[in-house]
């Protein structure tokens, strides 16, 4: 186990208010960096990069070398779990992922048991081991997975959709098949994250990117409850490993999310103000976010002032500085330096 006493991310996740707060960025290893683009070209395609431990390790470490973030996040993709369960997965250049679709009971029944995912995902675990041994002692390693609702939306539609309509349709018309699919994804996600922890991940994060399309009881049942089930299972095995949950688009439902799920930290998008987050979310523990990623493109004084305003609003409690969503390919790498200067001063 690497030294953790000086790891600011772990201290914040444990409830400590730090000045300055620890910083990392969603999608910090990505297309905005020229070194990432060069490494991806060596890999040939996106999936080959995900499954090549040497190259995936390299792109995970690139932003740490360039910027000195307080955490590295594993380079992988949320759709590797569906592939490990037996779905066909490919990426279309310029358009994104495509999967074989699940439209009913037969498709769910054809999926592999959750315990059989590890052979496919073994290269990912090797990447975790590689990164864990290569990171600076003060840098925390984050593993991750997609939350069940978001993963299910892709498995049902076969691609990303504007309103997750196919998943909502299956949920309404064949709830048995839908809930069986959610259960299988939940079981597989527990096993996947547990294996990442065994390989050296010190924190894990659940990305529910399409949580905002769920409302009322559906939000509780298909966003909160699966995440709570995963966290409970992981805490039973690894009680000291923190979990970050990101129910993007949750709005007012961010309040109380940590209590409902057991998450050590709730990540917030840019749709809520830092003052609201301090009053309604940070009262229950650590918060992460919530700078608009557009600032990483436009830069300037607005980037600096907004970053400092977020830090001021959340300085009374545990806070991990991050964006409200992933950094975009058109971001200026120099704006990341400006951001870190504004936060660390």
Could you read off the pLDDT tens digit of each residue along the chain, which spans 345 residues? 344 468 999 999 999 999 999 999 999 999 999 999 999 999 999 999 999 999 999 999 999 999 999 999 999 999 999 999 999 999 998 889 999 999 999 999 999 999 999 999 999 999 999 999 999 999 999 999 999 999 999 999 999 999 999 999 999 999 999 999 999 999 999 999 999 999 999 999 999 999 999 999 999 999 999 999 999 999 999 999 999 999 999 999 999 999 999 999 999 999 999 999 999 999 999 999 999 999 999 999 999 999 999 999 999 999 999 999 999 999 999 999 999 999 998
Residue ranges per structural domain of the chain: 51-286
What pLDDT is recorded for position 64?
A: 98
Query: What is the C-alpha separation between 268 and 87, in angstroms, rounded?
Result: 30
Query: What is the C-alpha separation between 311 and 121, in angstroms, rounded?
Result: 38
What pLDDT is recorded for position 1?
A: 36
- Number of H-type helices and E-type strands within the chain: 17, 9
Which residues, in sequence order, are bridge partners of residue 142? 73, 203
pTM, entire model: 0.97
The separation between the first and the last C-alpha atoms of the chain, rounded to the nearest angstrom, is 31
174 SS3 class: coil
Q: What pLDDT, in 10s, does the model give residues 195-218? A: 999 999 999 999 999 999 999 999
The CATH number given to 51-286 is 3.20.20.210
Q: Which residues are marked as active site?
A: 27, 31, 40, 77, 154
What pLDDT is recorded for position 8?
A: 98
By C-alpha distance, which of 230, 239, 134, 232 is closest to 189? 230
Contacts 24+ apart (CB under 8 A), 100-106: 100/158, 101/155, 101/156, 101/157, 101/158, 101/166, 102/155, 102/156, 102/170, 102/177, 102/181, 103/156, 103/170, 104/170, 104/174, 104/177, 105/174, 105/176, 105/177, 105/180
Query: What is the C-alpha separation between 37 and 29, in angstroms, rounded?
Result: 10
């Amino acid at each position: 186990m690497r030294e953790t006493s000086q790891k600011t991310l772990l201290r914040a996740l444990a409830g400590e208010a730090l000045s300055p707060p620890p910083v990392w960025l969603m999608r910090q290893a990505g297309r905005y960096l020229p070194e990432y683009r060069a490494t991806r070209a060596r890999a040939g395609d996106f999936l080959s990069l995900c499954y090549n431990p040497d190259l995936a390790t390299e792109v995970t470490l690139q932003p740490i070398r360039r910027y000195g973030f307080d955490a590295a996040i594993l380079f992988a993709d949320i759709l590797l779990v569906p592939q490990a369960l037996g779905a066909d997965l490919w990426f279309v250049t310029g358009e994104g992922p495509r999967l074989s679709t699940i439209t009913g009971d037969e498709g769910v029944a054809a999926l592999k048991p959750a315990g059989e995912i590890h052979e496919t995902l073994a290269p990912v675990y090797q990447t975790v081991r590689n990164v864990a041994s290569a990171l600076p002692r003060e840098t925390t390693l984050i593993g991750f997975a997609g939350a069940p609702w978001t993963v299910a939306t892709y498995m049902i539609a076969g691609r990303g959709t504007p309103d997750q309509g196919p998943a909502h349709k299956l949920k309404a018309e064949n709830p048995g098949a839908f809930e069986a699919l959610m259960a299988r994804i939940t079981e597989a996600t527990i096993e996947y994250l547990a294996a990442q922890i065994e390989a050296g991940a010190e924190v894990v994060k659940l990305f529910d990117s399409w949580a905002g399309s769920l409302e009322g009881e559906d939000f509780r049942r298909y966003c909160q409850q699966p995440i709570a089930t995963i966290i409970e299972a992981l805490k039973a095995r690894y009680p000291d490993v923190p979990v970050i949950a990101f129910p993007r688009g949750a709005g007012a439902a961010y309040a109380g999310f940590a209590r409902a799920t057991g998450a050590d930290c709730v990540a917030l998008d840019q749709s809520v103000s830092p003052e609201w987050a301090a009053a309604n979310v940070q009262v229950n523990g650590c918060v992460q976010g919530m700078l608009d990623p557009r600032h990483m493109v436009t830069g300037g004084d607005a980037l600096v002032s907004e970053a400092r305003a977020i830090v001021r609003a959340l300085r009374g409690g545990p806070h991990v500085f991050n964006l409200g969503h992933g950094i975009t390919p058109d971001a200026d790498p120099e704006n990341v330096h400006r951001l870190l200067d504004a936060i660390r001063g």
